[in-house]
Structure 1
Amino acid sequence: MSSAATSQLLALLGTELPIIQAPMAGVQVGAMTVAVSNAGGLGSLPAAMLGADALRSELAAIRERTARPYNVNFFCHAPPVPSSEREANWRATLAPYYREFGIDASAIPPGPGRRAFGAEEAELLAEFEPPVVSFHFGLPSAELMVRVRRWGAKLLASATTVDEARWLEDHGVDAVIAQGLEAGGHRGHFLSDDLSAQLGTFALLPQVVRAVRVPVIAAGGIADANGVAAALALGAAGVQVGTAYLLCPEATTSALHRAALQSDAARHTALTRLFTGRPARGIVNRVMRELGPMNPAAPAFPLATAAIAPLRAHAEKQGSGDFSPLWSGQNASGCLALPAAEVTRSLAEGLL
């Protein structure tokens, strides 16, 4: 870990290791955050699916269990205008499954499944003053960023293209997360929806490193110490890893999701809009095969979630993940049922 870029990142984050645990909404809470931070990495808490009370509770627990730096992550999407026509079309697309499972579609309430960062979240964060705050899908307003910086928080954000990386640097982030196309979960794109403009991690990374002056964190397809070393060799100051943590006991990954990650099915992932309305990488399952993973009928993010949620709940009760978002990156080979601290240290093997 002798590179100037890595040293700069460690000084910025206050961590011992250049390992950041990716925030993974829906499959982890603060227990994972604490375990990774206490192991010397930067643990992350995903906040997009947490209401105010739940977020306050998680932050209080983290503060009690670690004195190490940690990250709180938020989404910055523009809330869409609901369309009754588009919602009706989406439910019509799902109608054969409703009939199969005996679900009354008229009883399903609409509603978003993710919250965007706003004044309420900024005010709540100020009670805890987390050392690092990260954003996905761009950045909040300049006013909100000023509020977050008041207690000295360092700001990170995801870029899926060189243009996005430059934009983030111009708008004041302290480090850029270069998210390759291999990464599991939601794509962090925000300047363009054109997925053909997005690159794999090891194609994107060196281009972003050349384009910006701030430290660059590689994300996507990195599952072990060799992958970490390769990213650092290409100029990354550190890495962000998600999928490798999904089988940890600290994760809240469901039994169905864990089984899929340990099966041959994990070798086949795809970007899909079906579960939320925005491209996210997960293990291919029945609904993705039958409807097509990028079916245009799905409403804008995050409005697709409500209509498919009852199908997911029904299938999961039957022991099936056919309608579940089984998020995973393209490389699940490092996804092992080990404590998060052990995974963190294994990723950093050879760096100390």
Structure 2
Amino acid sequence: MTGSWTASAVPVIAAPMAGGATRPALVAAVASAGGFGFLAGGYKTPEALGAEMDALTVPFGVNLFVPGPSTVGEAEFRRYAGELAAEGAPYGLDLAAAPMVEDDDHWQGKIDLLLESPVPFVSFTFGLPGADVVAALTKVGTQVLATVTTAAEARAAVELGVHGLIAQGTEAGGHSGTHTPEQPGVVPLRELVQQVVAATSLPVIAAGGVSESSQVRELLALGVSAVAVGTVLLRTDESGASAVHKEAIAAAGPDRTVITRAFTGRPARGLRNGFIDRHEATAPIGYPAIHHLTRPLRAAAAAAGQPDQVHLWAGTGYRRARTGPAADVITALAAEL
């Protein structure tokens, strides 16, 4: 794939982790070790994203969430909000009365920003952008990447005319990039990479649970152009993850991650905790309404140091997340390449 990271020393990419974990300092630190980083545009206003872009002097990419249609009705939303009332009560939150919020995450404003201030790469998650968006970004010199979780999604992205694919295996932490949250793909990364590489001639980036240099080497041998990592960077000095998130990852035993929709109404992998145990079975599919419903609870719990009610996103490689400079993590992952 042509673009900024081909000039980098190592084909290791810092994945965009929305919600605060990825910040300019982390992207810069990864670049200092020869890697390449993506800013997370999700949950940010165009102004906030623009400020992060202005703070960087190294090449970087930007990731955006593709807005989709509402998937939860008012009655189902009110049922779940009532169910969560007891969770919010200790923090003074009346979740049962919370409004049902549906938005597009400032979609057009951020597209306009990226057309006015082009970056080398823009990646999309949760679905595919319109052909007009791909054409407009291409016209200003940006390469468009699509996150895919199945071979069928990869073929649809190829037909759209994107420049590259991010194959996200089920091991990935945080939200699944699935285009169909009601029936998400659960393909392991190695298998997905083989399927996607076989189905297209486009460059492919592998993402999902990668935490060791041996995994990077194996995936490159399967034909990917680069490997993206996220969870393994969460505890580093430059990570913006909350203290409660970092501490939970450090303290977690083996095999603690699960895929849940309880926090946001969209499948995402994180450390299993009490909130997931109490609500997973009854949580509706309904992003972003459920995300907005639980957001104040998650913020209050994190501020109070209560991991039981926080979305502790983490991929399957979380036990190898280490402290110290992010540059050291990238260097270790690129060992013997």
TM-score of the pair, normalised by structure 1: 0.88
Give the partner amino acid of 1:37. A
- Residues 10 and 16, structure 1, Cα contact 8 Å, conserved in 2: no
1:33 to 16, 27, 35: 27
Q: CA–CA distance in 2 between the matches of 1:265 and 1:250?
A: 24
1:40, distance to aligned residue in structure 2 (A): 1.8
Q: How does 1:51-90 map to 2 (within 5 A)?
A: 51-62=45-56, 65-66=57-58, 69-80=59-70, 83-90=73-80
Task: Please say which of residues 146-155 and 272-281 is displaced more in the overlay.
Answer: 146-155
Counterpart residue number, 1:340: 326
1:210 is the counterpart of 2:223 = no
Indicate the residue corresponding to 2:12 in structure 1: 19
Q: Which residue of 2 aligns with 1:248?
A: 236
- Alpha-carbon distance, 1:81 to partner: 6.8
Aligned equivalents of 2:87 and 2:180: distance in 1? Answer: 35
1:190 counterpart (163, 172, 179): 179
Query: What is the match of residue 164 of structure 1?
Result: 153
Q: Tell me the amino acid that sits aligned with residue 309 of structure 1.
A: R
**1:173 deviation in Å?**
1.6
Q: What is the Cα deviation at residue 10 of structure 1?
A: 6.7
| 1:5 paired residue number | none
Q: Distance in 2 between matches of 1:317 and 1:214?
A: 43
Secondary structure, in 3 states, of the residue corresponding to 1:277? coil
When residues 106 and 276 of structure 1 are mapped into structure 2, their CA distance, relative to the original with a 3 A threshold, is closer
Residues 316-325 or 81-90, more deviating = 81-90
How many angstroms does 1:175 deviate by? 1.4
In structure 2, C-alpha distance between the alignment counterparts of 1:243 and 1:340, rounded to whole Å: 12
Q: How many positions carry a matched residue from both structures?
A: 336
Deviation of the 1:127 alpha carbon: 2.9
Q: Measure, in 2, the Cα distance between the counterparts of 1:324 and 1:58.
A: 25
> Aligned-pair RMSD on alpha carbons?
2.2
Amino acid corresponding to residue 49 of structure 1 in structure 2: Y
Would you say 1:304 and 2:290 are equivalent positions? yes
Instruction: Tell whether 2:272 aligns with 1:284.
Output: yes
User: Structure 1 pair 112/48, CA: closer, same or farther in 2 (3 Å)?
Assistant: farther
Q: Is the Cα–Cα contact under 8 Å of residues 20 and 42 in structure 1 kept in the other structure?
A: yes
Output the amino acid matched with 1:311: L
CA contact (8 A) 2:232 2:318 kept: yes
Letter in 1 for 2:29: A
Question: Is 1:318 the equivalent of 2:318?
Answer: no
- Quick one: which amino acid aligns to residue 54 of structure 1? A
What's the offset of the Cα at 1:112?
A: 4.6
Cα pair distance change 1:16/1:154, threshold 3 Å: farther
Alignment of 1:42 with 2:36, yes or no, is yes
Structure 2, unpaired ranges of 5+? none
Residue 260 (structure 1) aligned with residue 248 (structure 2) = yes
- Asked whether the 8 Å contact 2:173–2:315 carries over to 1, the reply is yes
Residues 347 and 286 (structure 1 numbering): CA distance in 2 closer, same or farther, change over 3 Å? same
3-state DSSP of counterpart to 2:107: coil
The alpha-carbon deviation at position 42 of structure 1 amounts to 1.4
Amino acid in structure 2 at the alignment position of 1:215: P
Equivalent in the alignment of 2:118: 129
